[in-house]
Amino acid sequence: MFDRLSERLQGILRKLGGQARINETVLDPTLREVRLALLEADVHVGVAQALLAAVREQALGEEVLRSLSPGQQVVKIVRDELARVLGSGERTELRFASRPPSVILLVGLQGSGKTTTTAKLGLRLKSAGHYPFLVPADVQRPAAIEQLVRVARQAGLEVLEHDGSQRPLEVARAGLDRARKAGFDTVLVDTAGRLHVDDALMQELAELKAGLEPSEILFVADAMTGQDAVRSAGEFHRALGLTGVVLSKLDGDARGGAALSIRHVTGVPIKFVGVGERPADLEPFHAERMAGRILGMGDVLGLIEKAEQALEAKDVAALERKIRKNELSLEDFRDQLKSLRRMGPLSGIVAMLPGMSHVKEADLDSQAIVRVVAIIDSMTPRERRAPQLLDARRKRRVARGAGQSVQEINRLLKQFAQMKRMMKTMESLSRSGRGKGRFPGLRGRLPFGGR
């Protein structure tokens, strides 16, 4: 699911993730690309706009400027905003009546997946220790009753059988009655669908609502139908007052737009997603997880968090002080590398590090870091603080100690000197007021490893 959207957003955001500085010039073209990707994935235009405005505002804020890895922070903001649009932090559990049996009404357009979802929900409730009773109240389509009876049986669920001669409300009342007598605590009512929202359908559903006082009215939306699903959800909500949405067919090649728009447009939480035709193919909806999936970067975000932990704030502050005084030593440099090592194996994550997206992974595996650390470890403390002491004789000694060649030592020293020069430039820029206070992207510019 979301394959294309994920792919596009990942491509766009990976570039952004590597940015050591975020400003309008970098951000705006990127956000335009994100907007296009969202619209092509059929995301409601208002949703895309609101999302990007929120991202932009935060991305250009102080927090990001001051962070260690501005580009990645922005990616994280996009993820958080996606999650917010999807309804993060909202209650998605089903509500039950204080006095059982609770009634759950499933409504939606024709073919959206109501009948299938009725059985799926029944199975889910049963597994959670409930006693669900299924009621086919679709007397519109001839085979609808049989269909629910069949899938219910398959799933080992109890279902009301009837000949379809009664009106839906009468059927549902009979079901409720049976449930009370037999001790079922939830009644799931499958209703008829129509090709389009029409008065007769809404009238029928309004009657069911008034007569049954359901604790949930779930709108089953076919995710594959994109904007249609969103529009009809809005219409159903206005007419009935929905309490939740089930997004079905997310296992198909849905473009994702419905998922991203429906919550925003209706204000009703998505409670479940259908991910297949079988009764077991229903999952509770998690906005954060879905946002992570859309960006395909749960791993990337985990990495950011890890990196933030590894580089603790106080270490960073101390490091900055040294840079300001131009006192950064090879020892500090080594400690930085070690922090990076603490994040675990580096292969696969390097491209995500700020400023490192251009470095091929193979060029920067953890071996490279081990090598650099070994070299620095082989120096005396004095040499680490004053690398200019390293003459040819000392370099040979260090090389032997680290099991490296003298060329490796020279390369490291040269990179380190470059880094210090660059930091000095950044520092004087920031003092002259042309750059912002701290050192955005500092870590991304540490020249560890490159061969």
Ligand X SMILES: Nc1nc2c(ncn2[C@@H]2O[C@H](COP(=O)(O)OP(=O)(O)OP(=O)(O)O)[C@@H](O)[C@H]2O)c(=O)[nH]1
Choose among 248, 291, 242: nearest CA to 273: 248
- Nearer residue to ligand X within complex by CB, 188 or 349: 188
Least distance CB 152 / ligand X (angstroms): 12
- Nearer residue to ligand X within complex by CB, 83 or 229: 229
Binding residue for ligand X, selected from 18, 71, 108, 244, defined by CB under 6 A = 108
The C-alpha angle 184, 189, 172, rounded to 5 degrees, equals 80
Q: Does residue 144 interact with ligand X by CB under 6 A?
A: yes
Contact positions with Mg ion (CB under 5 A) in 100-139: 114-115
* Residue 102 site contact among Mg ion, ligand X, none (CB < 5 to 8 Å, cut-off depends on kind): none
Binding residue for ligand X, selected from 76, 237, 249, 384, defined by CB under 6 A = 249
Binding residue for ligand X, selected from 253, 277, 363, 377, defined by CB under 6 A = 277
- Tell me how far apart the alpha carbons of residues 11 and 330 are, in angstroms, rounded to a whole number: 35
Q: Does residue 271 interact with ligand X by CB under 6 A?
A: no
* Residue 44 site contact among Mg ion, ligand X, none (CB < 5 to 8 Å, cut-off depends on kind): none
- Nearer residue to ligand X within complex by CB, 1 or 9: 1
Least distance CB 178 / ligand X (angstroms): 22
List of residues 6+ apart from 160 with CB closer than 8 A: 133, 134, 135, 136, 171, 174, 175, 178
Least distance CB 254 / ligand X (angstroms): 10
Least distance CB 120 / Mg ion (angstroms): 13
- Nearer residue to ligand X within complex by CB, 141 or 286: 141
Least distance CB 150 / Mg ion (angstroms): 12
* Residue 274 site contact among Mg ion, ligand X, none (CB < 5 to 8 Å, cut-off depends on kind): ligand X
Q: How far is CA 361 from the centre of its chain?
A: 25
* Residue 276 site contact among Mg ion, ligand X, none (CB < 5 to 8 Å, cut-off depends on kind): ligand X
Binding residue for ligand X, selected from 71, 274, 387, 449, defined by CB under 6 A = 274
Least distance CB 204 / Mg ion (angstroms): 14
- Nearer residue to ligand X within complex by CB, 142 or 241: 142
Least distance CB 109 / Mg ion (angstroms): 11
- Nearer residue to ligand X within complex by CB, 280 or 422: 280
Binding residue for ligand X, selected from 113, 122, 132, 387, defined by CB under 6 A = 113
Residues 176-205, one symbol each (x = binds ligand X by CB under 6 A, - = not), give -----------------x------------
Q: Does residue 110 interact with ligand X by CB under 6 A?
A: yes
Least distance CB 205 / ligand X (angstroms): 13
- Tell me how far apart the alpha carbons of residues 14 and 8 are, in angstroms, rounded to a whole number: 10
The C-alpha angle 287, 218, 252, rounded to 5 degrees, equals 60
Residue 448, phi then psi, degrees to nearest 5: -70, 140
Least distance CB 20 / ligand X (angstroms): 43
- Nearer residue to ligand X within complex by CB, 250 or 399: 250
Residues that contact ligand X, how many (by CB under 6 A) = 21
Pairing of strands 282-284, 270-274: antiparallel
Least distance CB 289 / Mg ion (angstroms): 28
- Nearer residue to ligand X within complex by CB, 120 or 384: 120
> Which residue ranges make up the site for Mg ion (CB under 5 A)?
114-115
> Which residue ranges make up the site for ligand X (CB under 6 A)?
108, 110-116, 138, 141, 144, 193, 248-249, 251-252, 274-277, 281
